Amino acid sequence: MKVALDVLARHYDAIAPTYDAGGVEHNETMWRHTSTNVVCNDADIDHDDVVLDLGCGTGNVARTLAPHVRRVVGVDCSARMLDRARLGAPKNCEWVWGDLRQPPKVEGLTIITANYALHHLDREELRTIWRWAQRVLPPGGKLVIGDLLYSVPPEQVEGIEGWMDPALGEYHSAWALMKELEEHGFQAVLKVLHPVIGNLTAMRL
Ligand SMILES: C[S@@+](CC[C@H](N)C(=O)[O-])C[C@H]1O[C@@H](n2cnc3c(N)ncnc32)[C@H](O)[C@@H]1O
């Protein structure tokens, strides 16, 4: 299912003020924070890296990586989420309003990150992202994803009610995406954080 950009923007504009307020005591937020940390760690950055963060939201990934890389560009469709990302952000961060399905051109790009953003895309849209990433990354460049990716079918997992709004996105199979990334010229490694949360680090061959 393809979700219209204005629907996503309206949803995230509305929740932007409280998006980062949920503490780790809230199960869902705790897993999102864990995934953020895994994405930042597995990006395995270098000070020369140039990062594009897809669906950057309030900038949790971008702002963590920025002090250790040359430049970070965050793209998001929610102006209110971007307003929060801008607050106190390092000088080498740039924020772009737009659709991550038509990502901005970033000179010297070496790493693409996407934390909890790609579940808003359907499989066809994801395949377009893999093709684009394969084209724009240099060999050795990385696509690092953390998201609601299942290794156990969600209907068999307890305690995840409300984690996915079916009007806004869908669970994807972590193993199926890993296979697809390999078919698109990446070497991919999957980390299963939870039965429905996974991190994929895909290196462009
Ligand atoms: C759950 S939030 C994740 C934010 C951030 N990556 C994080 O880890 O905290 C998803 C973000 O993706 C953005 N997003 C979803 N689909 C998008 C699209 N097609 N184009 C641009 N941004 C999108 C939303 O506006 C939202 O800020």
Tell me, in angstroms, the distance from the centre of ligand 1 to residue 186's CA: 23
CA of 99, closest atom in ligand 1: 20
Condensed to tens digits (0 to 9), the pLDDT of residues 83-140 reads 999 999 999 999 999 999 999 999 999 999 999 999 999 999 999 999 999 999 999 9
CA of 98, closest atom in ligand 1: 21
Tell me, in angstroms, the distance from the centre of ligand 1 to residue 23's CA: 19
* Phi, psi values for residue 83, rounded to 5°: -55, -40
Protein residue with least CA distance to atom 11, ligand 1: 55
Q: Domains plus CATH for the chain?
A: 5-204 (3.40.50.150)
- Relative to beta strand 71-76, strand 93-97 is parallel
Supply the pTM of this predicted model. 0.97
pLDDT at residue 76 above 80?
Answer: yes
Ligand 1 contacts (CB < 6 A) are 5, 8, 12, 36, 55-57, 60-61, 75-78, 81, 99-101, 115-117, 120
